[in-house]
Chain A
Amino acid sequence: MAVPEKTLFDVERVRADFPILKREIRPGVPLTYLDSTATAQKPRQVIDVMDTFYRRSNANIHRGVHTLAEEATAMYEKGREQVASFINAQSARQVVFTRNTTESINLVAYTWARANLKSGDMIVLTEMEHHSNLIPWQLLAQARGLRLEFVPVTDDYLFDMDAYRELLALEPKLIAFTHMSNVLGTITPAAEIIRLAHEAGALTLLDGAQSVPHLPVDVQSLDVDFLAFSAHKMVGPSGVGVLYGKLPLLEAMPPFLGGGDMIKTVHLRTFSTNEVPYKFEAGTPAIAEAIGFGVAAEYLANIGMDAIAAYEHEMTEYALERLAEIPGVTVFGPSAEHKGGVASFVMDGVHPHDVAQILDHDGIAVRAGHHCAQPLHEKYGITATTRASFYIYNTRADVDKLVEGIYKVKEIFG
């Protein structure tokens, strides 16, 4: 796909915003960061707003009447609004701050699912889920006698729509699925999956940990019931994530953790809950992080999510092309058309840890392991892959360095 002129952005200007990219891993060896699927690097705008918060405005939020408390509350709630606007939520009240995607999914499992599912009810997942969208359901299935079914991944690494239709005929209550596989890079046709689920009377939970940072995600046009994602994968800080939900669902759900801020009135033996979203935000939250999150969302929105997706697509095509040139390297995942900026691969005769270690010597940061998707690796009969992933600050030169590094691995293992 040719990138239209108007969607291009200035990569060098973006790179200049990320202080860590100036770091040398050892003297004379610059950092080549290809691990954004694990966590993205942070631009100075995000670092600065958090720094400023701690230097000027730090206070606990809500209830305080002093100046700092008011500033802190306003900044925290502004973060919520910026994130809500980023995913086109109708109301900022639909954005519940959590610790991360994992906690967001667990929140739904502990509240909505516990209140609404009974023994024998069915939840549909896919074979390519991250452990964070698998274990919460396994735990609940064990506790409540639920049935878990899995949409297979096709031979060309895609979401198996035919198998999905068959599962829908069994009247599942919830479809919880990834929008973009963190290993294969497979982008699932979320709008279609959600439409079919609703027709079959099921609710949907979208794991947007990998998609929200990389693709335009609009909760209203998707009509998704729940969306979970993390700040740290979208140039924001670690420690804060979001559960988006449709308002009537959030309002009907029992609370999650109990404590301060989630209550309206408290007596020794009873309490009443606060309104949404505070009902789900017990205790002092990650205040500076939520503020940083808002700025991160705004940073990405200013570049433009369409431009980001187009740029990463171009990079993915180039990376797949270059990796295909190398004898003995096998990449797992669909063609670039259906794929986000992720290349997970194995090399004949060399363990992924050794690949990653040798690449690190040249300052190239990639990840090796099962990437919290062990069942998927089992499916392909491998224990681990080496994963290179791309984001707004990566360039073709980074891909070239990766390829050079892989040739060096081949030389060492001869």
Chain B
Amino acid sequence: MDDLYREIIIERYKTPHYRGHLDPHDIFFEDDNPVCGDHIEITVRTDEDDRVTEAAFDGHGCAISQASADLLIESIHGKTLDEVKALTKDDVLELLGIELGPVRLKCALLSLKVLKAGAYGLGADEVSDELVE
């Protein structure tokens, strides 16, 4: 457990660096985890080369879901949308630095799912777990 609740996760949960809502934005997407009611929305601004200049997340949920959203948003600054689309489960786990069981994995990957759905420009009913496999 000491591993699961690493200091960085508690710290980012309590004082996230990228919580907010960008207006105007180029990309917006939101989704829930039906199992626990976690909610994440992301807003992203990009430049003419489709490179992320600014990004933010908002929502509520467990420490794992909120900390992983904060770390993920931090990591995409300066990346192109193609690079964002190429992000995987392993990238998020590397950011968190922990191993997770199947239930908590859904918490950790909600923000990536939302981010990638936004980057691909999907509709609300087109989101699936395949995005983060």
Give residues in A with beta carbon < 8 Å to B.
349-354, 357-358, 361, 368-370, 374, 377, 383-384, 412-414
B36 to A369, Cβ gap below 8 A?
yes
Contact digits for B2-46, partner A, Cβ 8 Å, 1 yes 0 no: 001100001000100000000000000000000111110000000
Mostly, the B contact residues are mixed
- The CA-CA distance from A263 to B75 in the complex, in Å, is 64
B61 to A361, Cβ gap below 8 A?
no
Q: Does B104 contact A (CB under 8 A)?
A: yes
A384 to B5, Cβ gap below 8 A?
no
A357 to B4, Cβ gap below 8 A?
yes
* A-chain residues with CB within 8 Å of residue B39 when the two chains form the complex: 383
Contact digits for B48-64, partner A, Cβ 8 Å, 1 yes 0 no: 00000000000011111
Q: Which of these, B1, B4, B35, B63, contacts A351 with CB under 8 Å?
A: B63
* B-chain residues with CB within 8 Å of residue A358 when the two chains form the complex: 1, 5
* A-chain residues with CB within 8 Å of residue B5 when the two chains form the complex: 354, 358, 412
Q: Which of these, B35, B60, B62, contacts A354 with CB under 8 Å?
A: B62
Least CB distance from B94 to A in Å reads 20
* B-chain residues with CB within 8 Å of residue A357 when the two chains form the complex: 1, 4, 62, 104
- The CA-CA distance from A349 to B66 in the complex, in Å, is 13
Least CB distance from B89 to A in Å reads 19
Q: Which of these, A353, A361, A383, A413, contacts B10 with CB under 8 Å?
A: A413
- The CA-CA distance from A303 to B57 in the complex, in Å, is 54
Least CB distance from B64 to A in Å reads 7
New contact pairs (18) apart from A351-B65, A354-B5, A357-B62, CB-CB < 8 Å? A349-B14, A350-B63, A351-B36, A351-B61, A351-B62, A352-B36, A352-B62, A353-B61, A353-B64, A357-B1, A357-B4, A357-B104, A368-B36, A370-B36, A383-B36, A383-B37, A383-B38, A413-B10
20 A–B contacts, CB within 8 A, in A order: A351-B36, A351-B60, A351-B62, A351-B63, A351-B65, A352-B36, A353-B61, A353-B64, A353-B104, A357-B62, A357-B104, A358-B1, A361-B1, A370-B36, A370-B37, A374-B37, A377-B37, A383-B61, A412-B10, A413-B10
- The CA-CA distance from A114 to B10 in the complex, in Å, is 53
Q: Which residue of A lies closest to B35 (CB)?
A: A369
B62 to A383, Cβ gap below 8 A?
no
Contact digits for B73-99, partner A, Cβ 8 Å, 1 yes 0 no: 000000000000000000000000000
| Count of residues in B whose CB is under 8 Å from the partner chain | 18
Q: Which 7 A-B pairs have the closest CB atoms?
A: A383-B37, A351-B62, A361-B1, A353-B62, A354-B63, A354-B62, A369-B36
Give residues in B with beta carbon < 8 Å to A.
1, 4-5, 10, 14, 35-39, 60-65, 104, 107
- The CA-CA distance from A168 to B71 in the complex, in Å, is 54
- The CA-CA distance from A164 to B31 in the complex, in Å, is 37
B36 to A384, Cβ gap below 8 A?
yes
Least CB distance from B113 to A in Å reads 17
- The CA-CA distance from A358 to B10 in the complex, in Å, is 13
* B-chain residues with CB within 8 Å of residue A412 when the two chains form the complex: 5, 10
- The CA-CA distance from A350 to B10 in the complex, in Å, is 10
- The CA-CA distance from A374 to B10 in the complex, in Å, is 27
- The CA-CA distance from A351 to B63 in the complex, in Å, is 7
* B-chain residues with CB within 8 Å of residue A368 when the two chains form the complex: 36
A353 to B36, Cβ gap below 8 A?
yes
- The CA-CA distance from A354 to B4 in the complex, in Å, is 10
Least CB distance from B108 to A in Å reads 11
* B-chain residues with CB within 8 Å of residue A369 when the two chains form the complex: 35-37
Most buried by A among B5, B10, B37, B104: B37
